Amino acid sequence: MVGDWKSGNIGTLAGTGEPGYSGNGGPGWKACLNEPKNVCFDTIGNVLIADSENHVIRRVLQATGVIETVAGWVPSSQSQEPTPSPFPAQATERDEGDPLADFDDAPEKAYSQAPDLSGTVRYVIGQGLQRDRFAGDEGPATQALLHFPSAVTVSEDGAIFIADTFNHRIR
């Protein structure tokens, strides 16, 4: 949905209202999404969508309204063996123009950056392996233990901030 707070009108940017995975290369409003969890803008005004149950990040191009998948993969829709992504719950934009997404596959979820040219998603913060733990301050980000991180944002200088919910910290 897109709301125009000045006029009070609302419209649909992406999604038909039916769950599924379709529409790449066409108008966003004709595409099927499956439990989109969050949206953000990239530096040039495109909209990034965390299409959670499809395990992908999708982008609606600002200039044309065309939707495309930019990271992750839908297991039932592709025959090759790409690197699977967990369930994206949130997407945010980094200065370099790459979306950064948090993935909601379990309470010990980690954060991944996407995409590289192959659509591969990789961990950049957190191990994604352990629960109910805290470790890793002042060390490599990939060695940190997070306990239900629930939000992510990126500052203008590229620093990543995470709400590490049950560790009661912003990291």
Pairing of strands 47-51, 56-60: antiparallel
Report whether 51 contacts 34 (CB < 8 A): yes
Q: CATH homologous superfamily of domain 10-170?
A: TolB, C-terminal domain (2.120.10.30)
Q: What is the 3-state secondary structure (H, E, C) of 103-142?
A: ECCCCCCCEEECCCCCCCCEEEECCCCCCCCCECCCCCHH
Q: Quick one: pLDDT at residue 6?
A: 73
* Whether the model pTM is above 0.85: no
Contact 33, 24 (CB under 8 A): no
Ranges 25-29, 79-83, 150-154: which has the least confidence: 79-83
Query: Average pLDDT of 74-99?
Result: 49
Residue-range domain boundaries for the chain? 10-170
| pLDDT single digits (tens) 137-167 | 888 877 788 777 766 776 677 677 777 778 8
